[in-house]
Chain A
């Protein structure tokens, strides 16, 4: 074997080894972590409740990326290509960020609605209590007054239950309770106003 032949052999071997190293594509570990973290952040922002469909899209894309990675892992080393997985994972990050943004917006809206409902409930209850204090009392009104007193007490109890669930950020639950307070207080208000009108004690 002459020197030229040796050089050709060594060169060919080097090119083969180089191809192998170049051909063994790396798993997209970093992008996977980013995607997972983006999903986690979206969940922490309340996406499960406030942007479930957007979160689902991101989770589906993540699952597809994992399936693609698993497929490539089982492919002959020289043929591996994680480009599609990387594209999918990049999409996961974007979708998860969109889910997070949407969840934050929807959650803020739900919070604003719930707080407005609580303010309305408190003011309606205060009005009802003030009017109840002026309700005509006398023979024949005991049962009615006791029923209205029951409504006011139930409204107070329900209102007191709002704080803990507000802390748990169950805004729909808060809104439902606030609405029930408004309903009870409105009934008291209407009945007392009617009784006052009947007894000629209506406000000018």
Chain B
């Protein structure tokens, strides 16, 4: 008596990994850094993250419907929330709500779905969103809060919510009273004014080896990033070469002219460098696929970041560096294709 079976393709194993798992691990690795951020700079960042995630999911659902694709599993694969969180972490805590809206529009709709959706975007969507709002709304994007320990005025939660909702400065005080320059801003302005770096570093905004508060946030990001490395979610090439090139070039510049070039550690622990090294530049879709290609990619991001920080118009260059290297990634991949088994070249 014959028995019939349904057929299926090899391998005949339960699935081992899913995109959702990969994305969730990335979110998990970001949590320590987010917590540190909220600790130093108040709850604003959490609201920004919530707004960005909400807008991202709405835009993603809208695009999927327009493209006539099923909402499940794409909405459930967590790639849009990850983009949203990375974008939100680059925002000032009191940025008005429409910054997140516009940023997510450009990130999800333009940078991701117009190019083909998950797996097809040429550029890092979070960075596209960030760069668009940075250039279009310089005032809102430079309203950074100083760390709560040295802040002249610490807005309460309700005031933070009001500020984000309305775009007005919290507590009726002017923006100048509430905001302050970031460590990178301070360095850049001091050098432009002719001050030595060592003098500039006397400012209370600096901590032990980086910016006050920022250095610890970077540490927590690094811990999360190392955990991702251990879990094999990201590979070591990009973080190592990115931070390595910054350290090497920063060291060379600092040795040549310590007056106008900060120490390499200062570079590493300010701005979005650590976040970029472990979470942004390691985005697999827009980066290189081959191991050697990733080495070149990471080094390129590091070098361009330093160049922009030193000579460019913006205090931090990670976002622009990532986007520029995204452009070069296919070419780099083409020239760093690994050798196939059994072939000599």
A and B are partners in one complex rather than unrelated chains:
no
